[in-house]
A and B are shown apart, each in its own frame.
Chain A
Amino acid sequence: MIMKTNFRTYYLYLILFFLAGVIIIPLYVSVMGGFKHTGELRTNSLGLPIDWKFENYTSLLANSDFWLFLWNSTVYAVGTTFFVVLFASMTAFVFAHVKFAANKFLYNYFLLGLMFPFATAILPLFLRVRDFGLLGTSWAVIIPQIAFGLGFSIILFRGFFRQMPKEIFEAAVCDGCSYTQFYFRFTLPLSTPILATVSVITLTGSWNNYLLPLIMINDESLYSWPMGIMVFRGEYFTDWGKILAYVSLTLVPAVVFFFTLQKYIVAGLTGGAVKE
Chain B
Amino acid sequence: MRSAKFDALLSRYYTIIIFLIPALTIFTLFVVLPIGEAAYYSFFRWNGYGAPEKFVGLKNYEFLFKNRVFIMSLKNNFYIIAISLFVQLPFALLIALMISDKLRGAAFFRTVFFLPFILAEIVTALIWAYIYDGNYGLVAAIWGFFGAEAPFILGDKDWALLAILIVIFWKFFGIHMMIYIAGLQAISKEVLEAAKVDGAGPITTAFRIKIPMLIPTIKLSVFLSLLGSLQLFDIIMPLTGGGPSNVTHSMVSYLYYFGVMRMKVGFGSAVGVVIFLICLFIAIGYQRTLMRDDNENKF
Contact = CB atoms under 8 A, between A and B. Distances in A.
B175 A254 contact: no
B138 A113 contact: no
Contacts, number: 268
A119 B275 contact: yes
Nearest to A116: B35
A61 interface: no
A121 B275 contact: no
B238 A106 contact: no
Contact of A22 (B170, B181, B279): B170
The size class of the interface chain B forms with chain A is: 35 or more
A34 B8 CA distance: 64
Contacts of B103: 12
B16 A127 contact: no
Nearest to A241: B136
Grouping DSSP codes into helix (H, G, I), strand (E, B) and loop, the A interface class, with mixed when no group exceeds half, is helix
B20 A91 contact: yes
A29 B133 CA distance: 13
A121 B120 contact: no
A247 B123 contact: yes
Nearest to A261: B118
A123 B15 contact: no
A26 B20 contact: no
Interface of B: 4, 8, 11-12, 14-16, 18-20, 22-24, 26-27, 29-35, 37-38, 41, 48, 95, 98-99, 103, 105, 109, 111-116, 118-123, 126-128, 130-131, 133, 135-138, 140-141, 170, 175, 178-179, 181-183, 186, 216-217, 220, 224, 227, 230-231, 233-234, 237-238, 251-252, 255-256, 259-260, 265, 268-269, 272-273, 275-276, 279-280, 283
6 contacts: A29-B131, A117-B272, A121-B30, A124-B33, A124-B41, A151-B27
7 pairs of A and B residues whose beta carbons are closest in the complex: A147-B30, A120-B272, A270-B182, A124-B34, A121-B34, A208-B120, A179-B15
Interface of A: 12, 15-16, 19-20, 22-27, 29-30, 33, 38, 41-42, 45-46, 83, 86-88, 90-91, 93-94, 98, 100, 106, 109-110, 113, 115-128, 130, 143-144, 146-148, 150-151, 154, 173, 176, 178-180, 183, 204, 207-208, 210-211, 214-215, 226, 229-230, 233, 238, 240, 243-244, 247, 250-251, 254-255, 257-259, 262, 265-266, 269-271, 273-274, 276
